[in-house]
Amino acid sequence: MVIGSHAADNFSFGGVNDIVYIGYKAGASADGVNNTFVGCQAGMNNVPGADENVFVGWHTGMNNAGLHNTFVGNLSGVNNNGFQNTFVGIGSGMNAGGIYNASLGGGSGPINNTISNSVAIGNNAVTMNSNQMILG
């Protein structure tokens, strides 16, 4: 299902795609299957093979190269290249990578794209190393 001006622009609809793109340019210039993008430019420029993601919010998940991610909140998960990450909050998980990271709070998440297995909870809570949990 595609709803919104320029949603799914330049998307190749060959085969079974199972996509839901809702919002202006949601999923524009994107590829991948089983993705749900809701919000203005959510999932825009999602690369081929970046499948089974859920992005909700303005510009959420733009330039994503990862799969099995869930990002909720404006600008969350922008430039992500990791797998199975969950970022909730405005700007959470920006420029993140790694696997199995979770963050809750505006600006929260891993400090760089090599950190894995981390949890950051709180406004601007940032993990500096893999296998780390930060509260507050």
**Mean pLDDT rounded to a whole number for the chain:** 94
CB 72 within 8 A of CB 88: yes
What is the mean predicted confidence (pLDDT) over 2-22?
82
Cα–Cα distance for residue pair 91/61, rounded to 1 Å: 10
The tens digit of pLDDT for each residue in 90-102 reads: 999 999 999 999 9
What is residue 90's predicted lDDT score, i.e. its pLDDT? 98
Q: Which residue, among 83, 79, 19, 84, has the nearest Cα to 45 in the 3D structure?
A: 79
Give yes or no for residue 58 having a pLDDT over 70.
Answer: yes
What is the pLDDT confidence band of residue 10, given thresholds at 50, 70 and 90? confident
Token pair 């990862």 is found at 66
The confidence score (pLDDT) of residue 122 equals 98
> Is residue 136 very low, low, confident or very high in pLDDT (cuts 50, 70, 90)?
confident
Residue among 79, 73, 84 at smallest CA distance from 38: 73
Task: List residues bridging with 120 in a β-sheet.
Answer: 103, 134
pLDDT at 18: 87
Right CATH for 1-135 from 2.150.10.10, 1.10.3720.10, 3.40.630.30, 1.10.1740.110: 2.150.10.10
Q: How confident is the model at residue 14 (pLDDT cuts 50, 70, 90)?
A: low
